[in-house]
Amino acid sequence: MSSSLSFRLSRGVLSTISPPIPHAKSWGVGYKPTKTRPLLDMSQGVPGTPPSKVLLDALSHSSSSPGSSGYCHVLGEHTLRSAFAEEMKTVYGPDIDVTQDDIAITAGCNMAFVATVMCLADPGDEIILPVPWYFNHQMSLNLLGIKTVPLYTRANEGFLPSTSDCEKLINPRTKAIALVTPNNPTGAIYSPDLVSKFAELAQKHKIALVLDETYRDFVDIMPPHTLFSPFQTEVSKSSWSWRFNVIHLFSFSKSYCFPGHRLGLIAASPDLLKHVTTTLDCLQICAPRPPQLALASPGLLPILRQSIQASAQSLKIRHNIFRTHLPPGWTIGSQGGYFAFVRHPFVGIPAITLCQRLAEELGVLALPMQFFCDDSVGSELESLGQSKMDWERWIRFSVANVSDDMVKQVCGRLHECEQYLGLTAE
């Protein structure tokens, strides 16, 4: 395609994939919805419910205050950092060793990731990502000239990453291992033991463990891990502290149902945060103030914990509905958080081809495996006993942003694939 630009674009942006969500939504434009058959969107991980009224009221109040229009400290409002350090005790336990000095507030969790990796790695350095990966993590690394090293997971093991496989990838250029749990895109939930083993591995090799826990409030077992608690892990027995090498990332978007307000969080050693201050000052100056002030309202976070727990229960029910109504032959490989990762039953049909047809012809939006890995997938899979043809059949469904009834409707339309798309299941 010809360009009207008279200048050359950066190699980073030219070699980075286009955002997958708009790509998928463009498929849906070709579908002609009706009152009885609307477009059903399970493509994006967004909350399906608005913020609770008490949070909306707090947002209204903080937004209308003249004082919220100015800058705040680059690391965030002191009141929110203090309140959230206390709030983390409800998730990780009352004895955790996390203070306000360990916390930075960012304009969303993607910003938290970018600011973090800018502190960790230079162009040409390497960061290990489990595959399938969260595409924005890989895209960010590519834009920065940091090499993404894929740590392939196995479908028959629920897409859980292996520490032994990971250790084989570590070399002098490795700066970090980045994990997402519950995982995006697979929904796989990493056990506290697995998280601890990755922390040990990272400490052994003197690299960082970046732990993105955007969906941590939507798991059955609490705490999600014990890294923040003294004397709770094997690594703690050798006077280890999480501040040595663990960098925790969090998104307020999912738990508090207000992704448009763009709040994320980094919890890390103050020795790292003084450098994060530099990156954040260049990227954002400060995160949006009104939502920070709203969340920091006295007593609000404990109240909102109740609505978070209710959302988690609703999500669990929706996962069960999806699992129960999924057509025969559609196989769930892993499920948790916002997502279910499903293998379709049509041999030889890449998921990206099927997802486009599902959107255009049946009005179902979902994301294919091809959005969560490199095009060069091949020999690495075979070494793990997985075929490229099988790998390309996996699809991510987000069960969070649709109603229980819509989940049933999606499953009903998947039943129609053979009849209306002319496909034959294995």
Burial of 244 by CB count in 10 Å (0-12 exposed, 13-18 middle, 19+ buried)? middle
pLDDT value for 380: 78
Helices 300-325, 404-415: inter-axial angle, 10-degree rounding: 20
Non-local (6+) Cβ contacts of 169 within 8 A are 128, 149, 151
User: Six-digit token pair at 40?
Assistant: 């059903």
d(CA 276, CA 60): 30
The two counts, helices (H) then strands (E), for the chain are 18, 13
- 201-248, pLDDT tens digit by residue? 999 999 999 999 999 999 988 899 999 998 654 544 557 799 999 999
Using alpha carbons, select from 162, 212, 156 the residue that is nearest to residue 341: 156
User: How many CB atoms are located within 10 Å of the residue 125 CB?
Assistant: 18
pLDDT value for 164: 97
Write down the pTM of the prediction. Answer: 0.95
pLDDT value for 424: 87
User: How many CB atoms are located within 10 Å of the residue 65 CB?
Assistant: 12
Find the farthest-apart pair of alpha carbons in the chain and give their distance in angstroms, rounded.
Answer: 63
pLDDT value for 382: 80
Q: Are 401 and 42 spatial neighbours (Cβ–Cβ below 8 Å)? A: yes
d(CA 274, CA 279): 9
* Arithmetic mean of pLDDT over the chain: 94
Check residue 242 and report its DSSP letter: G
pLDDT value for 296: 97
Helices 78-87, 300-325: inter-axial angle, 10-degree rounding: 60
Q: Cis ω on the peptide bond leading into residue 291 (within 30° of 0)? A: no
Which pairing describes strands 367-368 and 394-398: parallel, antiparallel, or unpaired? antiparallel
Using alpha carbons, select from 151, 208, 141, 144 the residue that is nearest to residue 183: 151
User: How many CB atoms are located within 10 Å of the residue 260 CB?
Assistant: 9
Q: Which residue ranges of the chain lie beneath pLDDT 70?
A: 1-2, 231-238
